[in-house]
Amino acid sequence: MATIGVLAVQGAFIEHEKMLSSLGAECVELRSAEDLKKKPDGLVLPGGESTVQRKLLMETGMYKPIKAWLDEGMPVLATCAGLILLAKDLSNDTRTCFRTLPVTVRRNAYGRQLGSFITEAEVRHIGPMRQNFIRAPYIEKVSPEVEVLSKTNGHVTAVHYKNQLALSFHPEVGHDARLHQAFLNMMP
């Protein structure tokens, strides 16, 4: 059974834990450097507020060890704010974080009024999926080696690169666990 470390400093981490547990994974909440002593098989970076999460990662001393895990290739599932933390560049902010995913992301890309919506779109290798966007970012530019998995209104909303699966939307909200299963299938 895979053990998944779920960043639990802020945001929608419980929903990820419920979904991963229902698929048979064991979840460990990561709140302090102490929680990183035992290395999990994979990592979840949940939605929330990326600027707050970034600040707490620095303050708790978790930034460096998690960055090292990602550099070593630990599988990661990142949603929304998590995508912002992984992005190499942000087009409308300077506060990048782990920078392991070669994409350029726009924060709050859908504006504040229309920031939250649900749509259905095709996800490569999976099929049509209901997608929940909450003040979401989208991906403006991808490096050639990044696989685009989904698009909405012409904008990239899901990508796969090496062991990193990153999404603008929130599959942990609802009952469709297919992307979480795809993430668990990435475990060594």
106 binding ligand GLN? (CB under 6 A):
no
Among 42, 47, 75, 171, binds ligand GLN (CB under 6 A): 47
Kindly state whether residue 49 participates in binding ligand GLN, applying the rule CB under 6 A.
yes
Asked if 98 contacts 67 with a C-beta cutoff of 8 angstroms, the reply is yes
**Per annotation, catalytic residue among 80, 97, 160, 180:** 80
Q: At what angle do helices 63-72 and 50-60 cross, to 10 degrees?
A: 100
DSSP state of 34: G
CA distance 152 to 62: 33
Report d(CA 155, CA 111) in Å as an integer. Answer: 14
Q: Determine how β-strand 87-90 pairs with β-strand 101-106.
A: parallel
Is 16 one of the annotated active-site residues of the chain?
A: no
Buried b (16+ CB within 10 A) or exposed e, 42-61: bbbbbbbebeebbebbeebe
Using CB under 6 A as the binding rule, whether residue 54 contacts ligand GLN is answered as no
Among 67, 88, 130, 135, binds ligand GLN (CB under 6 A): 135
Selected catalytic residue, list 27, 97, 160, 170: 170
Q: Which is nearer to ligand GLN, 24 or 115 (CB)?
A: 115
Using CB under 6 A as the binding rule, whether residue 81 contacts ligand GLN is answered as yes
Binding positions for ligand GLN, rule: CB under 6 A = 47-50, 80-81, 84, 107-108, 134-136
Q: Could you give the residue numbers annotated as active site? A: 80, 170, 172
